[in-house]
Amino acid sequence: MSKLNFKGSVMLNPAPVVLVTSKSSSNKINIFTVAWVSTVCTKDPIIAMGVRPERLSYTYIKESGECVINLPTKDMVKIVDYCGVVSGKKEDKIKHFDLELNKGIKIATPSLEKSPVALECKVKSITPLGTHDLFLLEVLNVKVDENLLDSNNKICFNKANLICYSHGEYYGLISKPLGSFGYSVKKKKKKDKFK
Ligand SMILES: Cc1cc2nc3c(=O)[nH]c(=O)nc-3n(C[C@H](O)[C@H](O)[C@H](O)COP(=O)(O)O)c2cc1C
């Protein structure tokens, strides 16, 4: 297969896309869209997030040392896009969509009632990288909509209608998994058994 080469750029697709709520020192709440976000450590549970310093959210998150990562669903795509193109410096985005907020448990910043999963985070460090600063966020608490739990209390993310972002477009996820963690190895073991 012949390959073309592009100059080094951030082509890691698909990416998650999330709505981040934050609170200023004067108790104002803001919301913005983030795609440069990823889990980087399990224990401690750490998420890395790239934020441009000119965002209003940057100031709020730095001031309070916390934020909430809200996972959006298919029916929230318009909110996701809008909160990613309009700044809280220009408009109160929470008011614009009449978004209901849910009180923080481990932190003072509220989450979005509409989001089925919300990760309450504390800022561990901020490192300037270039266009964006790298925020390392420790997850202190996770709110999960009880409707996502099955009878064994397993969280069924496939029921949540979550979305992702790829090369400028929003996509829904297919509800049936293509495989599950470790299935490739499990198959091999079965084969070995019959060797
Ligand atoms: C799909 C999408 C993904 C985005 N990802 C990021 C991101 O990872 N980091 C960032 O700083 N801005 C990102 N943005 C841009 C901000 O969300 C946008 O500038 C927003 O209006 C900032 O709002 P604020 O000034 O109220 O904080 C993204 C926008 C969109 C539409």
Q: How confident is the model at residue 194 (pLDDT cuts 50, 70, 90)?
A: very low
User: How many Å lie between the centroid of ligand 1 and the Cα of residue 176?
Assistant: 30
Q: Looking at residue 175, what is its pLDDT?
A: 77
Average pLDDT over residues 33-57: 98
Rounded Cα distance between 162 and 174, Å, is 9
CA angle 77, 82, 85 (to 5 degrees): 130
The answer to whether residue 192 scores a pLDDT higher than 70 is no
Closest residue CA from atom 31 of ligand 1: 84
Atom of ligand 1 nearest to the CA of 36: 8
Choose among 49, 73, 193, 194: nearest CA to 123: 49
Helix (H) or strand (E) holding 39: strand 37-41
CA 54 centroid distance within chain: 20
Q: Looking at residue 193, what is its pLDDT?
A: 47
Residues framing ligand 1 (Cβ under 6 A): 17, 30, 32-36, 50-52, 55-57, 81, 84-89, 132, 165
Closest residue CA from atom 23 of ligand 1: 87
3-class state of residue 76 by DSSP: helix
User: How many Å lie between the centroid of ligand 1 and the Cα of residue 51?
Assistant: 8
| 71 strand-pairing partners | 117
Q: Give tens-digit pLDDT for 65-79.
A: 999 999 999 999 999
